[in-house]
Amino acid sequence: MVAYFWFNFGYNNEIRILDDAKVQNVRVVDRFNNRQHIIGTIFLTDKHLIFVDPEGKRETWILHSLILSADKLPTTQQGCPLRVRTKHFFSIEFIIPKERDCVELHATLNQLKAESHEKLYCYLYQAPNYLEKIWDPFLLATEYMRMGVPNRDWKVEDSNSNFDMCDTYPPIIYVPMSTTKQMLIGSSKFRSRGRLPVLTYLHPNGASITRCSQPLSGFSARCLEDEQLLQSILKTNSHSSTMYIIDTRPRINAVANRAAGKGYENEDYYSNIQFKFCPIENIHVMRGSLQKVLDACEMKNPSMNQYLNALDSSSWLQHIKAVLDAAIFIARAIDIEKKNVLVHCSDGWDRTAQCCSLSSLLLCPYYRSIHGFRMLIEKEWLSFGHKFSDRCGHTRTSDNKEQSPVFLQFVEVVWQLTQIYPTAFEFNERFLISLHDHSHSCQYGNFVGNCEKDRLDLGVKERTYSYWNYILQNVNDFKNPLFRPQSTYASEVLLPTIHSQTLKFWMNMYHRFDGSILPKENIPNTLTHLIDHTAALNDHARLLEKRIRELRTILENANEQTNHSTTSLPEQDGSSSETEPSQTANKNLPPLSLSSDVESGINSDYSPSDRTSVSPPLNLQHQSSGEIDDIPTIERIAFELNSIALDWRSYQAPLHCTCSLPFDSAQRKYNCWRCGENFCIRCIEHGVRLPGLYSNSLAPVCKTCARSIKSSLSMFENSTPNKSNDQKQAEMKSSLSINDENKI
């Protein structure tokens, strides 16, 4: 019962509560403890179903487009129960006092699903100000260029530029250099939905992954062009005289397809081919399996055996392992055997997409970065036409039998890999969960429609926001704190040996809203927190060391100074006695202002040749003449010391933000680098430049500290006549309204 959906899903400040759409005294029963219940009010807005529990200060926001089902259950003494399930595995049971309210709410909720693509949420969504309707262009050609294509083996082909040859393929495709237009057309006619074999991944060793749909071979049909095309593919790779054709279906399914005039390649017709089945079940089996998982998750107080049995008999992890095994087989064939691999299933947009993308992920470290992973999805899932609209059931018209958790399985396999290689992926679990959720939310246009052509027709790039833009704007929330780009696992081919013992049930996906089951503390969040704290301290210590070296230099030079000036003891009220600073043998150094009140006597003569002789046995690091060019005033040093909290409120974190939002495992906590306290995303400002940092980078600071830093800066700015870094401070000042009278 928490405010999970606040920031990710369509929250902004303008919420229009629908007329009369408010039901009070609604009771919500804790699924794991029937005795506990919360009483609150349901509001229905144009975008959300909201349940507010005023005592717990908690809010549950459910985006309409995420609602999977709303079911009225038999009326009980306490009221009329309404169970709402979402596509991201949230389930809540409201008990509504009046039956009439329940009937109305039920009817309304069932009317909410979009009638057609034009009514999808992405066309209504008003993003926060920092997001713009800008689509960072994904050009398929760029990604192929990164792989070194076109080259002497592979060429680009625009015969599909009007989607004539295959309407679910991208306008440009990559095929072997030696192919002819005739071969392509012939092959596309011989392949289900026209999805002919095209290049999808080229490994540095020359071996490639190509993908297509099943051939329309039936029991004996053949197609010379298709056979020629496969020979051309084989010849692109000089390392091997044979290539694999991987059929990702169970053999029995492939054989059954023959009766319908489809099927698989006859090895008699295709020479030098190694044919192999990597059995992954079809979308219907997967849908059923997920349903069993969800049933297991929703069991009320099951016994250990019942729960384990239910999970086991869902076979979900078995299916996950099948997908992973297929991907690893392909990756091995490419990297170890150096053979080309052609992958298909039936139509080549579900299992084929899973296997091609996962084997690429294993083969190429680039895809394990956030940017690379985006490219992978754009290429394998979006360009080559995974039917997101049908599989996710975006609109009311979509066929229930077309829905299937194909993309979820892909996301889960990636998660399983992140569990085996915690340091190899730039992104974290939150990223994977977000990706899955937004494939359903329709908040962004990316996952709308069934193929590129659909999205072109729907004008998503003109009329909606891009998910990737959202990710990049919040990229720190999606980074894996354990990622080490230089490590073996992050920079090489991953070829894990998968044992049944290796795979885990993804509690944080399927049980993520069942707080009572999950640990009371989220360890990756603690890690992120510690890494941030270490970065802050490191940065601060660098500045402090620099200041100490500067001050030392001043003191030494003062000693070495032959000519000196006499100063009278200043009075306590701080009347300043300025003298002309002497700048002998000093080229780069600005006049040193030790304090705004007392300026004179000691000037810094900084001669680089002296530096190494300061302390003969020890070498000082980080000494460069560039560092000494902005020796600050005493006030500035005090300001610097005060701008960084050495101690952070760490695990002793409060349960609520100062704004009273409850912290829970889903809410990311941010530490203010200045005061060290914890804040929620609403109460933190991300881009503040703190004077106590060496790197001059932007730090997260709470709103109070941000104001204080800015006003101190302006104050201090106005009271120091001799500024050594005018320009920088002017930049910082630019966003502030400066009161020139404010000198204190």
Going by the annotation, the residues of the binding site are: 282-283, 345-351
CA distance 689 to 118: 44
Q: Is the dihedral of CA 449, 453, 458, 459 positive or negative?
A: positive
SS3 label, residue 637: helix
Q: Write out the binding residues for a second copy, residues 642-661 only, by CB under 8 A.
A: 642, 646-647, 650-652
Can you tell me which of 98, 100, 239, 564 binds a second copy, judged by CB under 8 A? 564
Shortest CA distance to 204 belongs to which of 335, 370, 329, 359? 335
Binding of a second copy at residue 295 (CB under 8 A)?
A: no
Can you tell me which of 111, 116, 182, 309 binds a second copy, judged by CB under 8 A? 309
Binding of a second copy at residue 500 (CB under 8 A)?
A: yes
Q: How many residues in the shown chain lie near a second copy by CB under 8 A?
A: 110
Place of tokens 């000198």: 743
Shortest CA distance to 328 belongs to which of 251, 387, 234, 416? 416
CA distances from 649 to 282, 693, 708 (A): 50, 19, 19
Name the residue type at position 666.
A
Q: Write out the binding residues for a second copy, residues 27-66 only, by CB under 8 A.
A: 32-33
Binding of a second copy at residue 615 (CB under 8 A)?
A: yes
Among residues 236 and 714, whose Cβ is nearest to a second copy? 714
Q: Write out the binding residues for a second copy, residues 382-421 only, by CB under 8 A.
A: 419-421
Among residues 97 and 422, whose Cβ is nearest to a second copy? 422
Note if 345 is an active site residue.
yes
- DSSP, residue by residue, 663-701: P-TTSPPEE-TTT--EE-GGGEEEEEE-TT-SS--EEEE
Binding of a second copy at residue 502 (CB under 8 A)?
A: yes
CA distances from 377 to 34, 358, 436 (A): 42, 10, 12
Sequence-distant (≥ 6) Cβ neighbours of residue 501 within 8 angstroms: none
Stretch that binds a second copy, among 169-177, 265-273, 305-313, 381-389 (CB under 8 A): 305-313
Among residues 537 and 698, whose Cβ is nearest to a second copy? 537
Can you tell me which of 216, 602, 675, 736 binds a second copy, judged by CB under 8 A? 602
> Smallest distance from the beta carbon of 707 to a second copy, in angstroms?
14
Can you tell me which of 227, 635, 677, 717 binds a second copy, judged by CB under 8 A? 635
Among residues 143 and 677, whose Cβ is nearest to a second copy? 677
Binding of a second copy at residue 221 (CB under 8 A)?
A: no
Residue of 122, 345, 392, 657 marked active site: 345
Binding of a second copy at residue 520 (CB under 8 A)?
A: yes
Binding of a second copy at residue 130 (CB under 8 A)?
A: no
SS3 label, residue 525: helix
CA distances from 699 to 686, 689, 691 (A): 6, 6, 10
Binding of a second copy at residue 547 (CB under 8 A)?
A: yes
Binding of a second copy at residue 567 (CB under 8 A)?
A: yes
Can you tell me which of 71, 492, 521, 731 binds a second copy, judged by CB under 8 A? 521
| Strand pairing category for 91-96 and 17-29 | antiparallel
Binding of a second copy at residue 584 (CB under 8 A)?
A: no
Give phi and psi for 246, each to the nearest 5: -105, 120
The kind and range of the H/E element at 70 are strand 67-72
Binding of a second copy at residue 277 (CB under 8 A)?
A: no
The kind and range of the H/E element at 154 are strand 154-157
Shortest CA distance to 12 belongs to which of 465, 423, 422, 413? 465
Q: Write out the binding residues for a second copy, residues 422-461 only, by CB under 8 A.
A: 422-424
> Smallest distance from the beta carbon of 504 to a second copy, in angstroms?
9
CA distance 34 to 568: 81
Binding of a second copy at residue 598 (CB under 8 A)?
A: yes
Binding of a second copy at residue 607 (CB under 8 A)?
A: no
Stretch that binds a second copy, among 99-107, 180-188, 447-455, 542-550 (CB under 8 A): 542-550
Q: Write out the binding residues for a second copy, residues 65-104 only, by CB under 8 A.
A: none
Stretch that binds a second copy, among 136-144, 400-408, 498-506, 667-675 (CB under 8 A): 498-506
Stretch that binds a second copy, among 4-12, 278-286, 336-344, 600-608 (CB under 8 A): 600-608
Q: Write out the binding residues for a second copy, residues 698-737 only, by CB under 8 A.
A: 712, 715-716
Shortest CA distance to 478 belongs to which of 426, 418, 533? 426
Stretch that binds a second copy, among 375-383, 529-537, 678-686, 724-732 (CB under 8 A): 529-537
- Direct distance between the N- and C-terminal alpha carbons of the chain, in angstroms, rounded to an integer: 50
Question: What's the burial of 327, exposed, middle or buried (CB within 10 Å: 0-12/13-18/19+)?
Answer: buried
Can you tell me which of 261, 459, 519, 721 binds a second copy, judged by CB under 8 A? 519
Shortest CA distance to 478 belongs to which of 524, 533, 522? 524
Contact 480, 426 (CB under 8 A): yes
Contact 681, 668 (CB under 8 A): yes
Residues that constitute the known binding site for substrate = 282-283, 345-351
Can you tell me which of 534, 695, 696, 739 binds a second copy, judged by CB under 8 A? 534
Among residues 400 and 568, whose Cβ is nearest to a second copy? 568
> Smallest distance from the beta carbon of 55 to a second copy, in angstroms?
19
> Smallest distance from the beta carbon of 539 to a second copy, in angstroms?
9
Among residues 23 and 713, whose Cβ is nearest to a second copy? 713
CA distance 560 to 582: 14
Stretch that binds a second copy, among 129-137, 348-356, 461-469, 534-542 (CB under 8 A): 534-542
Greatest alpha-carbon span in the chain: 108
Q: In this structure, what token pair is assigned to residue 376? A: 């992978």
Stated length of the chain = 744
CA distance 155 to 233: 12
Binding of a second copy at residue 617 (CB under 8 A)?
A: yes
Can you tell me which of 438, 540, 669, 710 binds a second copy, judged by CB under 8 A? 540
Residues taking part in catalysis: 345
